[in-house]
Structure 1
Amino acid sequence: MNTGQQTTRRLAAGAGRSVCRSCKDTLSRKYASAAAAAVQTDDSSQHIPPVSQTQDSFRINTGVVLSRPPQITRDLHPLESAFFLYQRRLNERTALPFTRYFYYKKRTTADLEWKRKIKERLTPARDIGRYKGYGDEAWNDELLVGAKESDIHHQVEKLIEDAEDTGSPDGDVAPASNASGTKKEADKIERPMPRITEADLKNDVKSLSRQLQRTLYLLVKDKEGRWIFPQDTFGKETLHNAAGRILVDSCGVNMNTWVVGNAPIGHYQRDYLDALKTASGFNEVGAKTFFMKARIMAGQANLKDNKLGLTDFKWLVKDEIKNEVDRHYWHSVKNMLAER
């Protein structure tokens, strides 16, 4: 007699005639199936294959994606530049119907200065050429393609010259240059810093002063000759602390850096051609590197006394990194890098 039949008989005996025939059949089938499943489970447990004494393992590394963020705004798209120029010209043209006394009080220094400058340049426009809004040619107000007035550098220079060329309080032109013909120091206005630096012109990949519009990333050459992000074996520490240690061990203490967050932003797996036997008896078949994000605030990398056997370093943008690193490495790290 199986377990299901015994259970059915006990229930029937305890309940007397209160259990119907269909309930007895259901209980019998249900517990008989459960007992059969239990027997099969016990049998299958006896055939579990033995666990292999030699297991495959991976070396765990911590990598650091150290970056310098953009320092200046990006160049305007040609459409943005054209729209910006259009809006500025439109503002100047719509201001012409208003009398100048709407902006300046009569016989003030600002009013006299405005009259003097209008007499010289023949237009209220300071940086986009001359325009006579009340003549027969007032309709002819279009800039030709390639005109110097549409160049942003020309516009900036004209605005600075206009600011430097100040007049005297009585409306007469003040001497803007000394006897040698050069601008007086008091009247000179400092020009904006160039967007293209000397490091850009020399293509100095070790300088942090290049590619100011984009994000630079630190790449180092390891003892095997591979270009990678700084990395080292992960020890008994957190990923955050390991990233800080690796930056010091690889690039020295003369960098002010900040490790962002406690979680990795990506990982890379490298499989070995031949497994390595470790001291603990495992077969090391590859290495997995988990990357932490970090920013450089000041300083510069110095590999002179590095502890990781590094031989060289570069500061590169995303497009340049693709041409330096291994193809498989690139596919693992590309989505961690900013386009700009």
Structure 2
Amino acid sequence: MNAGHQTTRRLAAKAGKPICRSCKDTLSRNYASTAAAAVQTEDQVSQHIPPVAQTSSQTAYGVNAGVVLSRPPQITRDLHPFESAFFLYQRRLNERSALPFTRYFYYKDRTPADREWKRKIKQRLTPARDIGRYKGYGEEAWNDEVLVGAKESEFNWQVERLLEDAETTGAEDQPPGSSETTNSAVTQKKVEHEAVERPMSRITEADKKNDVKSLNRALQRTLYLLVKDKEGRWMFPQDRLQKETLKEAAQRVLEYAVGVNMNTWVVGNVPIGHYQQDYAKSLKTDAGLNELGLKTFFMKVRIMAGQANLKENQFGLKDFKWLAKEEIQKEVEQDYWRSIKNMLAER
């Protein structure tokens, strides 16, 4: 529309005279655009969205990248008391199944194997390699239930009895000078080199010394790396997020915090949780923002080999510990614990 047409339209509108259809459509479009702009401005005010020009009044949170570095369990978990008692029950059930068969079912009469069976049956008082002394044909055969708190229900005691039975030659109770003793002594000399392999202890030297810096402790549990910052607070390693992804930041934080002598693996590309820390008073940043606090996003990382070393750390860290979940609760602050507890494994 040219300038002359626009002037004519304005004069006609003032005089109250009818205008052409094209001019009417133009006025409707202009009014609609103006109304839409006014509604958008009102929405911005109602949502408390500051204008772009007022950059100095913007608020934000700083972003940290945290690392939840863990060592997974190395051995199976400890048995529940019920599981240990059920194991003994299964052993004795197996013994009862063996009772109907005589030794001749297994060994021919008057053979070396038969004589060894006779010797061991006197020591075991049971036909099978059971735990404890049980006479299936005696007057107390019915009384084979294990009482609550009895030593027979303890797993370590059961293992020791099985090993003791396996190491028994059967010649220990024979009178000296007997033919059976002589034969068993010869047999013992022949099998002396075949020692029974004993299982490794589930309790290590680090467990006995309570060395929380060692990865060779609490082998049946998951251990997590905690570090002590400049202010003396225990937390997971963390640092400000720079121009990088969270996965790249996790790798950098580990290198700067606990050294490069560890083989680690970052599990996934997304965080497993976060912790929000609010300041008592907002801080002014270099970008002109009012920083209300920090939000730390944690990445899950596993250690495959190596050990932490704080000698050359760039964060001023003072100490570190490898702790299980319940041990972490005793070291960190309560608000920090409430944010991280659901990220940690129970065992």
Deviation at 1:313, TM superposition (A): 0.5
- The residue type equivalent to 1:224 in the other structure is E
Rounded Cα–Cα distance in structure 2 between residues aligned with 1:150 and 1:43: 81
- Aligned-pair CA distance for 1:276: 2.1
After superposition, what is the alpha-carbon deviation per residue over 1:287-322, rounded to whole angstroms, capped at 9, x for unaligned? 111100011112111100011111110111111111
**CA deviation vs aligned residue, 1:90-144 (integer Å, no higher than 9, x gap):** 1111111023344446666554433331233232243422222233433333344
**Partners of 1:46 and 1:154 in 2: CA distance:** 79
1:41 aligned residue (36, 42, 45): 36
- Displacement of 1:67 in angstroms is 0.6
Runs of 4+ off more than 6 Å: 34-39, 175-178
Q: Does 1:174 align with 2:185?
A: yes
Aligned partner letter, 2:142: W
Q: Indicate the residue corresponding to 1:150 in structure 2.
A: 153
1:10-89 equivalence runs, <5 A: 40-45=35-40, 50-51=51-52, 52-54=54-56, 55-89=58-92
Identity percentage over the alignment? Answer: 69
Aligned match of 1:260: 267
AA paired with 1:278?
Answer: T
Secondary structure of 1:297 counterpart: strand
Q: 1:301 corresponds to which residue?
A: 308
Aligned equivalents of 1:330, 1:133: Cα separation in 2: 56
Instruction: Spell out the pairing of 1:178-217 with structure 2 (5 A cutoff).
Output: 186-217=193-224
Look up the SS of the partner of 1:65 in the other structure: strand
Give the equivalent residue in structure 2 for 1:98.
Answer: 101
Distance 1:225 1:144 in 2: 50
Residue 334 of structure 2 corresponds to 327
TM score, norm. by length of structure 1: 0.79
Query: What residue is the counterpart of 1:338 in the other structure?
Result: 345
Q: Distance in 1 between matches of 2:94 and 2:128?
A: 10
**2:118 counterpart of 1:118:** no
| Conserved? CA contact 2:98–2:127, under 8 Å | no
State the partner residue of 1:161: 164
Mapped contact 2:261–2:306 kept (Cα < 8 A): yes
- 2:3 corresponding residue in structure 1: none
Distance of 1:331 and 1:214 partners within structure 2: 21
Aligned to 1:276: 283
CA displacement, residues 151-174 of structure 1 (integer Å, 9 cap, x when unaligned): 322221121122222369x89423
Greater mean alpha carbon deviation, residues 70-79 or residues 211-220 = 70-79
Report the AA paired with residue 118 of structure 1: I
- Counterpart contact for 1:126–1:159, Cα < 8 Å: yes
Contact 1:62 1:234 in 2 (8 A): yes
Shift of 1:228: 0.9
Q: 2: distance between equivalents of 1:177 and 1:44?
A: 100
* Deviation by residue 1:34-80 (Cα, 9 ceiling, x = unmatched): 99977643443466664422211222111000011112222222222
- Paired with 2:91 and 2:75, the residues of 1 have a C-alpha distance of 23
Q: Which runs of 5+ in 1 are unaligned?
A: 1-5, 10-33, 179-183
Partner secondary structure for residue 185 of structure 2: coil
What's the counterpart of residue 293 of structure 2?
286
CA–CA separation in structure 2 for the residues paired with 1:141 and 1:72: 32
Query: Structure 2: how far apart are the matches of 1:42 and 1:59?
Result: 34
Structure 2 CA distance for aligned equivalents of residues 113 and 70 of structure 1: 42
Q: Are 1:221 and 1:227, in contact at CA under 8 Å, matched by a contact in 2? A: yes
Q: 1:323 to 1:139 in 2, by over 3 A?
A: closer
